[in-house]
Amino acid sequence: MKKILLSCAGGFSTSLLVNKMKDEAQKEGKDYQIKAVAADTIEDVVKKDKPDCILLGPQIQYMLGNLKPIDDKDNIPLEVIGMQDYGMMNGAAVLKQAENLM
């Protein structure tokens, strides 16, 4: 099972997006573990869960540079969610973004 990790400042807004992504994956018959966490817990979650990709909310894109070592060391694709898809809570588009990363 592929694991997708989303993160934002507190993990709350990405939790809404996670639900929409899960609904879309279920419609498409895909089995993913999708979860949202607060930005300050990413490193611990990566060590524990070993996600297949990490998507950041646009409001924490400034953290991308700090998280690149996780990407390089663990070989986990890391990207910022598109501002429009995030704002519209477009679960289908963000799921596709994660799939393209993996």
Which domains, ranges and CATH numbers included, belong to the chain? Answer: 2-101 (3.40.50.2300)
Q: What burial class does residue 75 get, using C-beta atoms within 10 Å of its C-beta: 0-12 exposed, 13-18 middle, 19+ buried?
A: exposed
pLDDT at position 12 is 76
pLDDT at position 69 is 66
pLDDT at position 43 is 87
Active-site residue flag, 53: no
Q: How many other β-carbons are positioned within 10 Å of the β-carbon of residue 46?
A: 20
Q: Indicate which residue of 8, 18, 67, 78 is catalytic.
A: 8
Provide the 8-state DSSP code for 9.
S
Instruction: List the beta bridge partners of residue 93.
Output: none
The three-class DSSP label of residue 92 is helix
Confidence band of 86 (pLDDT split at 50, 70, 90): very high
pLDDT tens digits, one per residue of 34-77: 999 999 998 899 889 999 999 999 999 998 888 776 766 778 99
